[in-house]
Each structure stands twice: as C-alpha cells, then as structure tokens.
Structure 1
C-alpha cells in the first residue's frame, strides 16, 4: 500500500479528532465500553507504535503481511475488558482531548514523513512480526479507518476516506478468502466484518457456512 493512502487516512482522522469539543471526550464510541477520550488515547498509542515500527528495520524473511497480521488479533472478552479498564485509567489521567489532539496530530504527521522515506518492500518489525513497509502501512491505515468509524459512531462528524474503507474491505475479503456480500457498502463491510454490527439473517443466508467465522477480526 502506498504511503499516500496512510497519510490521507491519518490526516482525516486527525482532523476529526482536532475538531472535537472537550466535552465530547466522554461521549460513547463505537468500541464497546470505550469513550471517545479512551479511543483517542488508543489512537495516540497506535500512531506512536507505527512511528517506531517505521524506524525498526528487521531481518527477513517476513513473518506476516497486510492480511495475515489480523488473523492473530482475536482478543478474549477478558482481554478486551482489561484493555478497556487500563485505557480508561490512563485517559482519565490526561487533561482530555485538548491535550491528546495535538499530540496525535504531531505523531501522524511524523508517521507520514517516515512512511514516505521507506521502500514498500523494506522489512520492518512491530509487535514481534516482520513485514514489508507497504504491508505495515496497510495495517496502520486499516486500524485508523475502523477506529475513525468508531470515533464518529455517535457524533455528527465525517467518516474515513473512501479509499481507506476500500482497503479495509480488501483485507476483510482476504481474511475470508471470498467476496463479502455485494449488498454491503464499505462502511457496512467494515462494521459487520469486525463485529461492530451483528450479521442479519439475510447476511447469514448469503454468507452460508463462512458466517460462523465472523467477526473476521475485532
């Protein structure tokens, strides 16, 4: 994936974060149990991880790629609850969105510069994995796009760019090994493919046996 798509995905999300009023930090997000402020702290963490990864060359061969990376992301309910609790504690120790929004803006700008300086096939390390820079950029953009939908789930704000949502769909179909239902637009694909929305009876009929594999990542 090109650095330009990552930059546009991060840029749109950062603009939305910067536009939020301080009091909106305690509005619910699309992540169960997470407020907007909690999610914003997570976004800061993920952009920081991306910046570190882009400066962490790794020896080959690759151990994952833009699709396979997500197969390992299946936290248990207990792990989800623990992460939500720890994130809330940390978020509560900040002064809120006015503190986090400029930090996030600085980080995503730095990630964009670093991504532009790497070759797509350059091997990098993150979270114990080795993958090409282009694939790393995809994983960062996919997470940012899904969380952009989470951020605005209960707010009157624009969602992620169309190209970012198309990348989410591409990854979900790669995980499934088959096309998602043609009647799903890319927002629906992102939400249902990651368990943000339940499958309907019609979805299950269209998907057949593979419906049991949903969510494809959470």
Structure 2
C-alpha cells in the first residue's frame, strides 16, 4: 500500500479529531462501549504503534501481512473489557479532547513522514510480528478508516476517504476468501464486516455458509 493512502486516511482523521468540540468527547461512538474520547485515545495509541514500528527494522522472513494481521486479531470479551477500561482511565487524565487532539495530530503527521521515507519492501517489527512496511501501512489505514466511521457514527461529520474504505473492503474480502456482497457500499462493508452492523436476512441468504465467518475481525 502506498504512503499516499495512509496520508489521506490519517489526514482526514486528524482534521476530524482536531475539529471536535470538547463536549463531543462523551458522545457514544460506533465501537460498542467506547466514547469518542476513548476512541481518540485508542487512535493515538495506534499512531504510536505505527511510529515505533517504522523505526524498528527487523530480520526476515515476514511472519504476517496486511490480511493475516487481522485474522489473528480475535480478542475475547474479557480482553475487550480490560482494554476499554484501561483506555478510559488514560483518556480521562489527558484533559479531554483539547489535550488529546493535538497529540494525535502531531503523532499522525510524524507517522506519515516516516512512512514516506521507508522502503515499502523493508521489514519492521510490530506487536510481536515481522511485517513488510507496505503491509504495516495497510493495517494502519484500515484501523484509521474503521475507527473514523466509529467516530462519526453519532456525529454529523464527514466519513473516511474513499481510498481507505476501499482498502478495508479489500482486506475483508481477502479474509472471507471471496468478494463481499456487491450491494454493500464500502462503508456498509466496513461496518458489517467488522460487526458494527448486523447482517440482514438478505445478507445471510447472499452469503450462504460464509455468513458464519462474520464478523471477519472486531
């Protein structure tokens, strides 16, 4: 994946976060149990993951890629609850969105610069995996796009850029093993593919046995 796609995903998300009003931090997001403030803290954490990974060269071979990375991401409900609690505690001591938004903006900008300077075929380490830089950038863009949808789920704000949503759809299709239903636009594919929206009866009929694989990642 090209650095330009990450630049677009992070640029639009950073602009959104920077424009949020402090009181909007306590609005619910599309990520069940998470407020907008909680999710902004999580986005900062993921940008930091990207920055650290881009500065952590690794020896080969690669142990995951842009698709397999998500296949291994299946946290238990207990893990989800623990992560949500830790995230809420950290988000609550930052001074709210006015404290978090500039931290996210500067970290996201640094990731984009580092991504533009990195060798796309180079290997880096992240979360115990070894991955090509271009695959790392895909994971960052996919996470940004899905959580951008989460942030605006209950807010009248623009969603993620089309290129980032198309990358989410590509990854979900690879996880499923065949294309997602043609009647889903890319935002619907992202929400249903990750369990943000339930499958309809028509979806289940179209997907057949593959419906049992949903959500494809959480």
TM-score normalised by length of structure 2: 0.99
Give the equivalent residue in structure 1 for 2:155.
Answer: 155
Gaps of 5+ in 2: none
| CA deviation profile, 1:100-126 (whole Å, cap 9, x unmatched) | 101101001100110011111000100
C-alpha displacement of 1:81: 1.0
* Other structure's SS at 1:125 match: strand
Instruction: Please give the residue correspondences for 1:107-186 in structure 2 after superposition, counting only pairs within 5 Å.
Output: 107-186=107-186
SS in structure 2 at match of 1:88 = helix
Q: Could you list the runs of 5+ residues in structure 1 that have no partner in the other structure? A: none
Partners of 2:39 and 2:206 in 1: how far apart?
A: 33
Cα separation, 2, equivalents of 1:213 and 1:54: 32
- Please tell me whether residue 217 in structure 1 is matched to residue 217 in structure 2: yes
Residue aligning to 2:88: 88
Aligned twin of 1:59: 59
Q: What is the alpha-carbon root mean square deviation over aligned residues?
A: 0.5
The size of the alignment, in residue pairs, is 218
- Partner SS state of residue 78, structure 1: helix
Deviation at 1:143, TM superposition (A): 0.2
**Residue-by-residue CA offset, 1:1-28 (whole Å, 9 max, x unaligned):** 0001001100000000000000000000
Report the Cα offset of residue 92 of structure 1: 1.2
Secondary structure at 1:130 match in 2:
strand
What TM-score does the superposition give when structure 1 sets the normalisation length?
A: 0.99
Equivalent-residue separation in structure 2 for 1:92 and 1:107 (angstroms): 19
- Match for residue 207 of structure 2? 207
| 1:70 aligned residue | 70
- For 1:162 and 1:155, locate their aligned partners in 2 and report how far apart those are by CA, in whole Å: 19
- Tell me, what secondary structure is at the counterpart of 2:29? coil
| 1:138-190 residue CA offsets vs partner (Å, 9 max, x unmatched) | 00000000000000000000000000000000000000010100000000000
Moved over 3 A (4+): none
